[in-house]
A and B are shown apart, each in its own frame.
Chain A
Amino acid sequence: MSAFFKSRSTQLTILVISFLLVFIPYFINIPGLDWFSTKLMTIAAVTNAFTIGIAVYSQYKRSGRFIMERRKGWIYHIYLVLLMIFMIFNGIVFGQHTGGYDWLLKAVVTPLSSVIYGILAFYMASAGARAFRARSPQAALLLIAGLIVLLYQAPLTGSVFPGIEPAATYLTNTFGMSVARMFSISVCIGAIVLGVRMLTGKEVAFLGFGEE
């Protein structure tokens, strides 16, 4: 039975049927099908939540292998497993809004992720300052455009020199936006084409199968 559900043809069939149940009602008005689409979405959302459980199980299994075989970094896996047990125990026994779970989230996870994100400002400033060099006429034009936008981004400039806003807005709304639009169009087409490849079984790695 499990071989049947794991088989490539079964998984692809489920994929195609699910796709049609969601795709068709979006474009074509078929009242009964709409209900199926809605229920399928709800099932997908609920199923997705269960995948967290699978991730926890996989992580325990993987860490267990590291620890048993004393592979490089095994000591960190003990730390990882202990923390996971701590978080799960606290979350289930004391709830997510009080106790150790809440403390660990607020005192450890959030400050650390905030610091890593905050460092980005330094990296961006440094990369920007080093990259903006007028090495050619084109680079000089880019430099001028960059300086106008940078000046506008400084909150004081606009109040001292109101003319900066139309200039900066012109640059972002024409050159900047055209790039964003080009990206949206190509990513959208790329995603649809990838969908076709998946539906026709040409791209099966996401189902856990190797390439043909």
Chain B
Amino acid sequence: MSEEGFDLFKWMATYDKRWIYVFLFIVVIGPLIRPLGMPISVSGLTKDYYDNINSLTEGDIVFDSWNMEFSGYMELKPGVLATHKIFIEKGVKLCIAFGHFEGVALPPVVFKELKSYMDQYDYKEFEDYIIIGYVIPNEAAVAALAQDFHGVVRVDWKGQPIAGTFLDEIEDAGDFALINDYTTGLATTFQIRHMVLTYGTPMAVNSIGVSVPGHLANLDAGLITSLLSSTRGGAELEYLIGQPGPGLKSMDAFTFGHYMLIVFIIIGNIGHYGWSRRAAHRDRTGIQ
């Protein structure tokens, strides 16, 4: 037993962080299992991203940069799926490249989710999209690819020659209608330097949450044309295209998680205020 006994303010100010872990787990897991379908708002950022992607026309070739590992994909999944649904619907051609070695495990996972959509629009590998593989691991590779596409890439990720496909139209990065980057990593910066700044190709970015502040500065400076922010952005895009998916299902958990954090911050501040006042009073009067 403590000599001073239980002090509620002190507990509120110094609670064990494991309480946060427990409550966060509870408030997130509940709505994930059984979503409540609470309303969400759509941000201006997502509307701009939607307009950007939607402005593409049939036959446009997009450099589709899967600059993410599996862990990042789980956060970007709603945006990845919703964006690809737009591409498929519009008949946009995709040149898919990976910026991380785990990327090679992603296409079966992503295309399995999109299978019914691809069947509906008769969207086929090699005719409509080509996966060129793990070819942008570092800055030199991005620069080389941007300057001399066929000098760097001659076969797809399974070793089939890309000559005679829609990629014949690509000589350098300037021939892409758009660079669409799903990013957790550094290849985004390399692409901005060597594809956007050198060739003026527009670039849309779908970024994980922690990197959004950095990309906002790129957006404001005009280096990228639009930005889709994390799972939330993906959910908003699902809403805009009228195709509910994993993003919208997770928004209730997002809401509760954020509100819970606010509650913990308020508890901490009440505790801090009460405890520090009590300590000041004790110092002043000597009364415990």
Contact = CB atoms under 8 A, between A and B. Distances in A.
Do A and B touch directly, given a CB cutoff of 8 Å in the complex? Answer: yes
A10 interface: no
B143 A181 contact: no
Given A48-B140, A143-B269, A150-B258, A105 B102 contact: yes
Nearest to A132: B265
A70 interface: no
A37 B147 contact: yes
Contact of A128 (B44, B232, B261): B261
A150 B43 CA distance: 15
Contacts of B220: 173, 177
A45 B144 contact: yes
A90 B250 CA distance: 37
B148 A38 contact: yes
A118 B216 contact: no
Contacts of B214: 180, 183
Given A133-B272, A154-B255, A48 B147 contact: no
Contact of A151 (B21, B69, B235, B262): B262
Contact of B265 (A44, A118, A128, A177): A128
**What is the predominant secondary structure among interface residues of chain A facing chain B?**
helix
Q: How large is the interface on B (under 10, 10 to 19, 20 to 34, 35 or more residues)?
A: 35 or more
A162 to B, nearest CB: 7
Contact of A177 (B143, B151, B217): B217
A45 B140 contact: yes
B38 interface: yes
B198 interface: yes
A48 B138 contact: yes
Interface in A90-120: 96-97, 102, 105-106, 109-111, 113-114, 116-118
A155 B105 contact: no
B104 interface: yes
Nearest to B262: A150
B141 interface: yes
Interface in B212-250: 213-214, 216-217, 220, 232, 235
16 contacts: A45-B143, A97-B108, A105-B105, A113-B69, A117-B74, A122-B20, A125-B261, A153-B254, A154-B254, A154-B257, A155-B40, A156-B251, A157-B41, A172-B213, A179-B213, A184-B217
